[in-house]
Amino acid sequence: MNSTDRGVISRVESRSVPGRMRYYILVGCLTVMALVFFFPIYYAFVGGMFNATELYKPGIHLWPDNPRFENYTDSIIKYNLFRQFLNSFIIVGGGVFFQMVVSTLAAYSLARLNPVGGRYIQFGMLITLLIPSIAYIIPLYRTLVNIPLLNISLINNYGGLWLPYSMSAFAILVLKDFFQKIPGELLDAARIEGANNLTLFLKFILPLSQSIIAVLAILAFVNLWKDFLLPYLVLQQADLQPITVRLWTIAQSEPLNLQMSASFVAMLPPIFIAIVLQKFILRGISIGSIKG
């Protein structure tokens, strides 16, 4: 397909009646899909501007009669959402940092250092991907209540979230596959110049893997931001809880319009990050497909 082609339909096809028909049908389907995807986000924004009774009226209301923009400021101030946002960024930022550190080091070890039992370690990681996280939430919680050997508790401590967040079998296996595709001749030449394994990792492996690491970091951020159950169990003090746990407490007693305004505000950071950093996602996907 050359530069004059129009997506999945070439310029020659678009000049014919069947080609134009396919093009308009495709555009129509994509438009409907986009509307279906964005409607919940739009309705969450609009719902936050209704008063306490309008949301319960029968029918679909796409815009309130008297928009109450102050609902957003009221929910932010009343529920101290800035504090919860700060907690969320501390939790998620630390979780992403430790996950990338552990994942890159583990992947480098499996890909380039040939550890004893490396195949079995990789097989064990694959098995963990088949186990739903809810299946081991109770033993994980019991472990965090009293860390074996150390006899310390990580309840009401951000370390109780950073520790389990730091392990991601998916990130390790993706990075391992990527590291193995880096030309070995480049690393061999660096070894001849006297570079050790740590130097190879810091000055060659990491710089060449920036795109895929950025993609995994963005995916980890979005995934950890929406986590609810583990923060709810580990962080029992209200001043430590992230926005997801705070939204659950709001839903227990507060009016629905304030719930929706607070929920929409909570959606903004991951949406903003996904939009701003989408070029890194596309670049990482394209690099992975080329190297594959």
At 233 the pLDDT is: 92
CATH of 74-291, picked from 3.30.2020.30, 1.10.3720.10, 1.10.630.10, 2.60.40.60, is 1.10.3720.10
The mean of the pLDDT values for the chain is: 84
Token digits of residue 212: 């895929």
Q: Looking at the chain, how many residues does it have?
A: 292
Note the pTM of the prediction, 2 decimals.
0.79
pLDDT at 188 over 80: yes
Burial (CB count within 10 angstroms: exposed 0-12, middle 13-18, buried 19+), residue 106: buried
Token digits of residue 19: 């080609």
What Rg do the C-alpha atoms of the chain give, in angstroms? 24
Nearest alpha-carbon partner for 143 in 131, 159, 122 = 159
In the chain, where the domains are located? 11-70, 74-291
Nearest alpha-carbon partner for 163 in 177, 178, 176, 148 = 148
Alpha-carbon distances of 117 from 122, 123, 164, rounded to whole Å: 9, 10, 23
At 292 the pLDDT is: 43
Please state, for a pLDDT cut of 90, what percent of the chain lies above it. 30
Nearest alpha-carbon partner for 205 in 100, 112, 84 = 112
At 289 the pLDDT is: 46
Count other C-beta atoms under 10 Å from residue 186's C-beta.
Answer: 13
Nearest alpha-carbon partner for 228 in 137, 150, 151 = 137
Cβ–Cβ under 8 Å, residues 111 and 197:
no
* Pairwise pLDDT comparison (258 vs 228), residue with the higher score: 228
pLDDT band of 290, cuts 50, 70, 90:
very low
pLDDT band of 33, cuts 50, 70, 90:
very high
Alpha-carbon distances of 26 from 11, 21, 31, 57, rounded to whole Å: 15, 9, 9, 36
Considering only 8-12, 219-223, 234-238, 259-263, which range has the smallest mean pLDDT? 8-12
Cβ–Cβ under 8 Å, residues 25 and 11:
no
